[in-house]
Structure 1
């Protein structure tokens, strides 16, 4: 596999960014409670070196895949970049984010911290099943909004619904966001403890 990928990369004089689950580690420290295959790690490292790729340093977490109920840890996901990319963006780094549904942590490549604007609203099924929720949404949607363009009017209607639902959920369900944050932080703390044991 690595030979064919190496040939493919070598055939093009281009700036390369390879990313994803390479299903292999570079050394024994990238596995915990898992079998480490030294020969396969050597092949992977040879591919990286011969293709003149750079393994971008990762922060946030040590491992990107957690399996068998949080017992086995591996760093399988990574970004490999060419020297040309490294010369253009010399301060690239990888951040491993918290995982939710998958056994892999999502990873992002970043040159600097960027503010992507407000986060989308989280709506829970429990809210929609509660008495009065449809009325809150309908009243907020039917408010008159300003703007000449239809997309701006639509955006403003969504903002009205978001604001109304936030206020209604605070009074109806106390502060569910704080409870969720506490539970997520506990889960993350346990995962970080497991990484070091």
Structure 2
């Protein structure tokens, strides 16, 4: 989508840029904000589905992964790495 106010080169460099028009509450105009950064909250949390326990070989996979795990650091870091 093209916009006469925004150069195409800008959109090519920052494709995730977004513009928001704020409400006009105390001002005589509507302020416009430009956001160019993407919020990154890190890795998605681990999810476990009960249906996985019904899969053939599930228990063996758990046993094998527990044997292979090498932990380090404080107990809370060890537990987080293990999970």
Higher relative CO (Cα under 8 Å, sequence separation at least 6) belongs to 1
TM-score by length of 1: 0.23
Normalised TM-score (structure 2): 0.45
Greater helix content: 1
Greater C-alpha Rg: 2
